[in-house]
Amino acid sequence: MLEEGFLIENQWEKIYFGQLEVVVVASFGVILSWKIRLVPVPKKVTVFQISKTLEQGATDVVHRWQIIAHKLPKDIFLRAMPMIVNGRRESTEKKVAVLFFCMFLGNTKKLMALMEKRFPELGLQIRDCNEMSWVNSTIFWAGFPVGTPIDVLLDRPKGTQVSFKSKSDYVKSVIPKKSLEKIWKKMIDLDIETWMQWNPYGGRMSEISESETPFTHRAGNLFKIQYFASWGDQGINVSNRNINMLRDLYASMTSYVSSGPREAFLNYRDLDIGSISSNHTSFKDAQVYGFKYFKGNFQRLVKVKGKVDPDNFFKNEQSIPPAKYQV
Ligand SMILES: *[C@@H]1O[C@H](CO)[C@@H](O)[C@H](O)[C@H]1NC(C)=O
Ligand SMILES: *[C@@H]1O[C@H](CO)[C@@H](O)[C@H](O)[C@H]1NC(C)=O
């Protein structure tokens, strides 16, 4: 079974990954072969990060972004990230800003021309653009300041442990400006520091049919949302409280996102969307999260699982049950 969708999430799949042949066992797999199909990447790529506050017109820009981002050519990826800024201390006013992160497979000049034509509302300036090798752009995506030596990737993470909660959604129609304003207000009202990642679909993602690989979220999606909140180790009560706040934010988004099912992205594991306890297997319960993660492909995964792991040796709270559990 050809399985690429678990690993990729946007039109860059052809750069990062070739073909991975795996057999689905739980929702992880046994790798039978791994064929890398390299494709050329230009010597220099261009990245930028731009922040827009609400006063700077973030709402209008994000509204426009929803309309154009998924239709941009395949050599550009432009993410929007609504997030809480300030408010770390009680004395500062909490605000929402939207950060735009971009990678373009080309130079600044071409990127400027493309943005002037397709997204002038963003107001991209030459000084925002950073040309670098593709490998150096991994530093940018990992959140380090431009110019950080690549050796930083060899550092092992240290320091205090961070707890976090993630959830996901798919957006299929443009969220109106009035509703965007409601979303910002909700983010401010919640007593957590949260961010969302809005990742455009379209491009290569729309060209692959929903049933070609287990990854089913294809044409028709404007973008995927990741909701995120993190906190330090402050005990179970603080964790529960913060998780509940993120759930509250998710609940407030219901009318803007996919429904029947409310689709979810497997890599942002979320037990809220359905789960089974890890020591038993219920097909009925598995169907709930299975349909959200895989839609029509769930049944096929159940059949594969039935062949390669009929006794369900590999299982977790959101694994694929083998066919024999289906009654
Ligand atoms: C890549 O980053 C290194 C620093 O780690 C820098 O010395 C080098 O000039 C960069 N190269 C390109 C092409 O961006
Ligand atoms: C958490 O909340 C419960 C119920 O309110 C309380 O009994 C318990 O002491 C709290 N635990 C901590 C570690 O604060």
Tell me, using a 6 A CB cutoff, whether residue 234 lines ligand 2: no
- Residues forming beta bridges with residue 232, ordered by sequence position: none
> Residue 120 has what pLDDT?
98
> Residue 232 has what pLDDT?
87
Tell me, using a 6 A CB cutoff, whether residue 233 lines ligand 2: no
Pocket test for ligand 2, best of 237, 239, 244 (most atoms within 8 A of CB): 237
Mean pLDDT of all residues belonging to the chain: 88
* Nearest protein Cα to ligand 2, atom 2: 237
Q: 147: Cβ–Cβ under 8 A, 6 or more apart, which residues?
A: none
Tell me, using a 6 A CB cutoff, whether residue 237 lines ligand 2: yes
Q: What is the CA angle 196-199-205, rounded to 5?
A: 155
C-alpha 301/C-alpha 283 separation (Å) is 12
Pocket test for ligand 1, best of 136, 138, 150, 152 (most atoms within 8 A of CB): 136
pLDDT along the chain (327 residues), means of 10: 33 36 56 80 96 97 98 96 78 88 97 98 98 94 89 80 92 98 96 94 94 93 97 92 97 98 94 86 91 94 87 89 84
> Residue 8 has what pLDDT?
33
* Nearest protein Cα to ligand 2, atom 11: 237
| 3-class DSSP assignment, residue 46 | strand
Tell me, using a 6 A CB cutoff, whether residue 240 lines ligand 2: no
> Residue 293 has what pLDDT?
95
Half-sphere exposure of 95 (CA within 13 A, CB side): 16
Strands 163-171, 95-104: pairing is unpaired
- The residue annotated as part of the active site, out of 227, 256, 268, 289, is 268
Please write the tens of the pLDDT for every residue from 65-116: 999 999 999 999 999 999 999 755 565 788 999 999 999 999 999 999 999 9
> Residue 18 has what pLDDT?
41
Q: Domains in the chain, please, with CATH?
A: 41-146 (3.40.462.20), 277-326 (no CATH)
